[in-house]
Structure 1
Amino acid sequence: MARGRRGKGKNQAKRFLLAVVALVLAAIYPVQEQLTKETGGTAVSDGSTLEVHYLDIGQGDCTLIRQGDHAMLIDAGNNSKGTKVQAYLENQGINHLDYVIGTHPDADHIGGLDVIIYKFDCDQVWMPDYSKDTRTYDDVIQAVKARDYKVTHPKAGDVYTLGEAEVTVVCPVKDSYGSNANDYSIGVRVQFGENSFLFTGDAEEHSEEDMVASGENLKADVYKAAHHGSRTANTENFIKAIDPRYVVFSCGEGNTYGHPHAEVLDRLRKMGIQIFRTDDQGTVVAVSDGQTIAFNTSPSDNWTPGEPKGK
C-alpha cells in the first residue's frame, strides 16, 4: 500500500513538473501554441520559417521579422515603449539584430529606438535622409554615436538579405517630399519563398503614387496598413497594386486620431481583404513556411454583416 502511495506521489510530481515546463514554454513561445493555418492544421516556427510579429505597442508602430537566426526590427513605438519592446525581443531569445529601421523621425515610430540600439548589437541602422529638431530624434542619434554605429540611408530598389528572405527597399522613391515627414518613410517588401510582406511606415498618398509609378513589385500577401490606417494613405490604387490577402493595422485602442479610419476599413472590406488589428487583437504574429501563412489569431470581426470575408 505504501508503495502505491509513493508511486502516486511520483506521478503527481511528474505531472506538476510537466505542467510547469508547459507554462514556461508557453510564456517563451506563445505564438507556436496558437498558430493555425488556413487549412486548419498547425504551424511550428523554426529555422525554415519566416516570422513577422506586429507588436501591440499602442498608438505607434513596431514590427519584428525573424528568419532563422536573423532578425530585423522596424520601428520601436513611442518613447515610453522602448523597454517593452526590449523585453519582447529578449523573451524571443534575441540579442542581435541584423537591421534596425527607423522608418521616419516621428516619435510614435522611433521613440523607443534609442533603447533598442543601446541594448542590442545591431549590424545596420537605417533611417531616411530626413531629420527633425526634436529630443526624440536626437536621442536616437546619440545612441547610434554611443555604439559607434553608422546610419544607412537606403535607396528604393536596394536589395538586402535576411537569412533566406529577400528584402527590397520600395520607398522613399524621391529625395525630397518637402516638409511631410511621413512621405520620407522607409518601406520594404520582404519575400520568403512564395510569400511576401509589405511595410511602408507612414508613407502617404504622394509616396504611394511614386511607388506605383516606379514599377517596383509591390505585390504582397500581407500588408501593414500605412499610417495606422489613416485616410491620408492606403489609397485604392495603391491597395490594388499590392493586391493583399491580409492587412494588419497597428494602432492604439480608442486613439484620438480615429485610426483606422472608416473609409480605409470600408475600402478593404469591399475588396474582400481580411483584417487584423493590434488595438482589437493584441500582438499579431504571422508565420510563413514559404508557401502558406499562419496567424496566431483569427481575423478581426470588424466586418459589415453579410459581406464576404477573404478572397
Structure 2
Amino acid sequence: MKKCRSIFKFQLRMFVSILAVVLMLSGCALELELGSPADTSSGSRQNEGRLRVIFLDVGQGASQLLISPSGKTMLIDAGNNDREQAMLDYLKEYGVNRLDIVIGTHPDADHIGGLDRVIDHVDIGEIYMPKIQANTKTFESLLLSIKNKGLKVKTAKAGLVLEWDEDVQVTMVAPVQTYDDKNNMSAVVKVVYGNTSYLLTGDAERQSEKDMIESGADLQADVMLIGHHGSKSSTTLSFLKKVAPQYGVIQVGENNYGHPTSTVLDRLSKQGIEVYRNDLHGTVEIASDGHTYRITTER
C-alpha cells in the first residue's frame, strides 16, 4: 500500500512538473504573439497559411503591407517623405525584396511620399494609381522613379480584380467616379480570404463613400482602415453601417489636424468597433487564417 502511494506521489509530481513546463512554454508563445512585429518574422516565412495585413507605423501618414499565405506581397501607400528610410527598413524587417503589387491610393504626400525610394530599391511587379495628378515635387519624384524602373502605371478604379494570390480575392471598389478632390479619388481596396475580409480606404471622403454604397458593391468587411486618419470628412454613419466592421484601424501620428476626431471616435464606439491606432499601439498586424484573426501590436 505504501509502495502504491509512493508511486502515486511520484506520478503526481511528474504531472505537475510537466504541466508547469507546458504552461511556461504556452506563456512564451503568447508573449511572442503579442510582441513586436519582429518577434513573429522568423516563423512567418511560410506564413502558416495566414494572410498578414500590417498597418505600418509611419506617423501622420498611411501604409499597409500585405503578405499572402503563399508569400505574395502588396504595398498600399508608403507614408510621407520623411519616412522613406523607415519604409525600406520595414520591408527588410519583414523579409520583402519584391513587391508583386504596389498601390498609391492618391497623390497626397503622406501616402506616396516614401514610394519613390521603395520603387528605387525593391523589385516591383505591377503598380496602380488613380487617374489624378498633383503639381508637387513628391508626385514628380514618384513618377520619375516609376519611369526609371521601366514600369507602366495601371489605372486604379472601381471594378478591378487584381491577380495576386489564388486563395485571396482583391478588388477595387473605388474610385467609382472621377472627382476633382484628390481624397475622393482614393483607391479603395477590399481583400477577402476565406470567411475574413478587409476594407482599406485611403483618404476616401463622404462623396466617395456615398458612391460606393450606391454602386452596389459588397462593402462588408471585418477589418476597416478608418478613412482619412479619422477625419470627420470620412467614415459617415451610413458607410460605417454598410461595412459593419468588427475592428477598425486608424493610421495616425502627431498632427495639427485634430485627427482622429472625437466625432469619428464616438461613432466607432457606439457601433461597438474595436479600435487600434498607430499613435497608441505602434505597428498593428491583423492576420487571418481564413476563419479567425490574430492581432499583434507593437506596444
Which TM-score applies when normalising by structure 1?
0.81
For 1:57, give the aligned amino acid. V
**Displacement of 1:44 after TM fit?**
10
CA contact (8 A) 1:98 1:162 kept: yes
Taking the aligned partners of 2:155 and 2:66, their CA distance within structure 1 comes to: 20
CA contact (8 A) 2:41 2:94 kept: no
Taking the aligned partners of 1:51 and 1:107, their CA distance within structure 2 comes to: 25
Taking the aligned partners of 2:108 and 2:138, their CA distance within structure 1 comes to: 8
Is residue 211 from structure 1 mapped to residue 220 from structure 2 by the alignment?
Answer: no
Which TM-score applies when normalising by structure 2?
0.84
CA offset digits 1:258-309 (Å, max 9, x no partner)? 11100000001011110000000100011100000110139x9xxxxxxxxx
Taking the aligned partners of 1:289 and 1:161, their CA distance within structure 2 comes to: 20
**Structure 2 counterpart of 1:79:** 81
Taking the aligned partners of 2:227 and 2:119, their CA distance within structure 1 comes to: 24
For 2:173, give the aligned amino acid. V
CA offset digits 1:145-190 (Å, max 9, x no partner)? 000000110321111232221101010000x212x11000001000
**Structure 2 counterpart of 1:159:** 161
**Displacement of 1:101 after TM fit?**
0.7
For 1:212, give the aligned amino acid. I
Q: Assess, with a 3 A threshold, how the Cα gap between structure 1 residues 118 and 233 changes in structure 2: closer, same or farther.
A: same
**Displacement of 1:139 after TM fit?**
0.3
Secondary structure at 1:133 match in 2: coil
Secondary structure at 2:101 match in 1: strand
Secondary structure at 2:235 match in 1: coil
Highest CA radius of gyration, 1 or 2?
2
CA contact (8 A) 2:168 2:194 kept: yes
Match of 1:117 among 116, 119, 122: 119
**Structure 2 counterpart of 1:37:** none
Taking the aligned partners of 1:32 and 1:94, their CA distance within structure 2 comes to: 11
- What pairs up with 1:229-268 in 2 under 5 angstroms? 229-253=230-254, 255-268=255-268
**Structure 1 counterpart of 2:284:** 284
Is residue 30 from structure 1 mapped to residue 32 from structure 2 by the alignment?
Answer: no
How many residues align structurally?
A: 264
Taking the aligned partners of 2:66 and 2:47, their CA distance within structure 1 comes to: 13
Is residue 51 from structure 1 mapped to residue 52 from structure 2 by the alignment?
Answer: yes
Taking the aligned partners of 1:197 and 1:27, their CA distance within structure 2 comes to: 22
Is residue 169 from structure 1 mapped to residue 178 from structure 2 by the alignment?
Answer: no
**Structure 2 counterpart of 1:271:** 271
Q: Assess, with a 3 A threshold, how the Cα gap between structure 1 residues 122 and 193 changes in structure 2: closer, same or farther.
A: same
Q: Assess, with a 3 A threshold, how the Cα gap between structure 1 residues 265 and 31 changes in structure 2: closer, same or farther.
A: farther
**Structure 1 counterpart of 2:140:** 138
Taking the aligned partners of 1:272 and 1:231, their CA distance within structure 2 comes to: 18
CA contact (8 A) 2:187 2:201 kept: yes
Taking the aligned partners of 2:164 and 2:132, their CA distance within structure 1 comes to: 25
**Structure 1 gap segments, 5+ residues each:** 1-22, 34-42, 301-311
CA contact (8 A) 1:169 1:187 kept: yes
**Displacement of 1:45 after TM fit?**
7.1
State, as a whole percentage, how many aligned pairs show the same letter: 43
Is residue 65 from structure 1 mapped to residue 59 from structure 2 by the alignment?
Answer: no
CA offset digits 1:233-254 (Å, max 9, x no partner)? 000000001000000000003x
For 1:219, give the aligned amino acid. Q
Secondary structure at 1:177 match in 2: coil
Secondary structure at 1:239 match in 2: helix
Taking the aligned partners of 1:195 and 1:69, their CA distance within structure 2 comes to: 18
Taking the aligned partners of 1:28 and 1:290, their CA distance within structure 2 comes to: 20
CA contact (8 A) 2:97 2:122 kept: yes
Taking the aligned partners of 1:54 and 1:290, their CA distance within structure 2 comes to: 19
**Displacement of 1:203 after TM fit?**
0.5
CA offset digits 1:46-102 (Å, max 9, x no partner)? 151100110111000010011022010000000011110111111111111111111
**Structure 2 counterpart of 1:148:** 150
Taking the aligned partners of 1:293 and 1:162, their CA distance within structure 2 comes to: 21
CA contact (8 A) 1:31 1:285 kept: no
CA contact (8 A) 1:221 1:246 kept: yes
**Structure 1 counterpart of 2:10:** none
